[in-house]
Amino acid sequence: MSLSGLSPVGQFIYAQKNELSSAQTYFKENRTLQRNVDTFQKNAPNITTTKQLMGDYASNQVVLGAYNLSSMANQTALERDLLSQDPADKTSVAGKSGNASWLSFADAFSTLGKGKGTADATPFTSESVDLTTKAYQLQQYETSDSLQKNGVGDALYFSRKMQGGKIKTVDQLMSDKTLLKVAEVVSGYEPDQFGALDFSQQKRIITNKVDLSKLQTPDQINRYAQRYLAQLQIHPEYNKQDKPATMMDLFGGSDDGDSVLSLFGDTSGNSDYGSQLASLF
């Protein structure tokens, strides 16, 4: 079925029900990404040190992508610290940061961290290789141009991540740039201008605007993701980087998203989605 004739909300609902198979198809058609996965699957079982992982470009791309940390490829010192320090140690970079994404990444490779960058056995079991591959495929599919241009990719990621059940605090939500972007837009704020505020201002606004107790069920989470897509239809500039908003725009955002969403009727989506993909980080 073609998605071109559907509204963004319609695309989201359809893509959500078929995301894993669609991501795998997308990969088969992209030779570069497929080569990365092939290299990772071949080399991962022999990786036992931080140096080996970071020195294997393709494998490192897959691992960072799976955790939505692709930008960290240009922050080698940070990645090295996360992979070479015990995340259970409160003085470690991951432990001090309180960053949920960094902690999740460091925890997954805690055997490396506990050994200061060297593990007795590879952290890549056959199960973790499979899960990492699937998570990388989903992340790359969600960030593909066709799904990013109208926000559907971010909505899919938001729903998948939130249904995983690991985001329980505002700090955890804010530590994931994609989750934060969705929350900003649903709250009526332009992401670039919001990012110009200091952290305490951002946290105060998000705490007042986002009620995590109302993001517990698949229906609640899917509806929130759909509100994001509805807001982008009203404010397409919120999904671009070249049109900054004014401070008046920022603090004049509306809380009301349901009135727009109601135009689509009952669009809660597939409630089984979270249970199918929750294990994929």
Looking at the fold, whether 205 and 238 belong to one and the same domain comes out as yes
* Whole-number Å distance between alpha carbons of 124 and 97: 25
Strand partners, 118: 49
Strand partners, 49: 118
Token pair listed for 265: 């009727």
Asked if residue 161 belongs to a domain, the reply is: yes
Looking at the fold, whether 102 and 22 belong to one and the same domain comes out as yes
126-133 contacts, C-beta under 8 A, 24 or more apart:
126/45, 129/40, 129/41, 129/44, 129/45, 131/66, 131/279, 131/280, 131/281, 132/40, 132/44, 132/62, 132/63, 132/66, 133/37, 133/40, 133/41, 133/62, 133/66
Asked if residue 236 belongs to a domain, the reply is: yes
* Whole-number Å distance between alpha carbons of 235 and 232: 5
End-to-end CA distance of the chain: 28
Closest CA to 154 of 263, 12, 48: 12
Residue 159 amino acid letter = S
Specify the pLDDT at position 199.
Answer: 92
Are the beta carbons of 67 and 131 closer than 8 angstroms? no
Specify the pLDDT at position 263.
Answer: 38
Specify the pLDDT at position 3.
Answer: 58
Looking at the fold, whether 40 and 122 belong to one and the same domain comes out as yes
CA distances from 181 to 63, 110, 188, 225, 272 (A): 23, 29, 11, 11, 25
Specify the pLDDT at position 259.
Answer: 39
Number of compact structural domains in the chain = 2
pLDDT tens digits in sequence order for the chain, 281 residues long: 445 678 999 999 999 998 989 998 998 899 999 999 999 999 999 999 999 999 999 999 999 999 999 999 999 999 999 999 999 999 999 999 888 889 999 999 999 999 999 999 999 999 999 999 999 999 999 999 999 999 999 999 999 999 999 899 999 999 999 999 999 999 999 999 999 999 999 999 999 999 999 999 999 999 999 999 999 999 999 986 343 344 434 444 444 444 344 333 444 444 444 444 554 66
Domain hosting 182: range is: 150-271
Asked if residue 144 belongs to a domain, the reply is: no
Looking at the fold, whether 208 and 108 belong to one and the same domain comes out as no
Are the beta carbons of 228 and 182 closer than 8 angstroms? yes
Are the beta carbons of 241 and 200 closer than 8 angstroms? no
Specify the pLDDT at position 245.
Answer: 40
CA dihedral 121, 122, 126, 127 (to 10 degrees): 100
Specify the pLDDT at position 98.
Answer: 81
CA distances from 17 to 100, 105, 150, 275 (A): 27, 27, 18, 12
Specify the pLDDT at position 225.
Answer: 98
Asked if residue 250 belongs to a domain, the reply is: yes
Q: Count CA atoms within 13 Å of residue 262 on its CB side.
A: 4
Asked if residue 139 belongs to a domain, the reply is: no
Domain boundary among 98, 131, 164: 131
